[in-house]
């Protein structure tokens, strides 16, 4: 048991994670996540929170391309998957087409 967790809370968590319903939900989520082609890099932060963070940092609302770059590229600006790379290139192409 981690030192920062209350004993009663820990016991409830262990009991909760052992429930059959939780186990079914967990397995379903694992299966669903394995179907994703372009995983994002924001972890548990919501996209709305990410938009707010970018707005606070840059003082301007991010466009779709900026949000994609912020949420699907690693810290060294690489895409996680080929699907993410293809999507990013397609968005760039469409934005250029829109400008002309």
pLDDT at 41: 58
3-state secondary structure of 3: coil
Q: How many CB atoms lie within 10 A of CB 42?
A: 14
Q: What is the mean pLDDT of the chain?
A: 84
pLDDT at 35: 64
Query: pTM of the entire structure?
Result: 0.49
- CA distance to 10, 17, 18, 73, per residue, from 7 (Å): 5, 15, 17, 39
Per-residue pLDDT tens over the stretch 12-42: 999 999 999 999 999 998 887 666 665 565 6
Residue pair 81/39 in contact (Cβ under 8 Å)? The answer is yes
């Amino acid at each position: 048991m981690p030192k920062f967790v209350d004993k009663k809370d820990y016991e409830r968590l262990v009991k909760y994670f052992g429930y059959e319903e939780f186990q079914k939900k967990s397995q379903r989520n694992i299966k669903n996540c394995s179907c994703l082609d372009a995983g994002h890099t924001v972890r548990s932060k919501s996209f709305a929170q990410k938009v707010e963070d970018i707005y606070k940092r840059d003082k301007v609302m991010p466009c779709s391309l900026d949000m994609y770059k912020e949420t699907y590229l690693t810290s060294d600006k690489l895409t996680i998957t080929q699907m993410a790379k293809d999507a990013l290139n397609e968005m760039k192409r469409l934005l250029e087409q829109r400008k002309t």
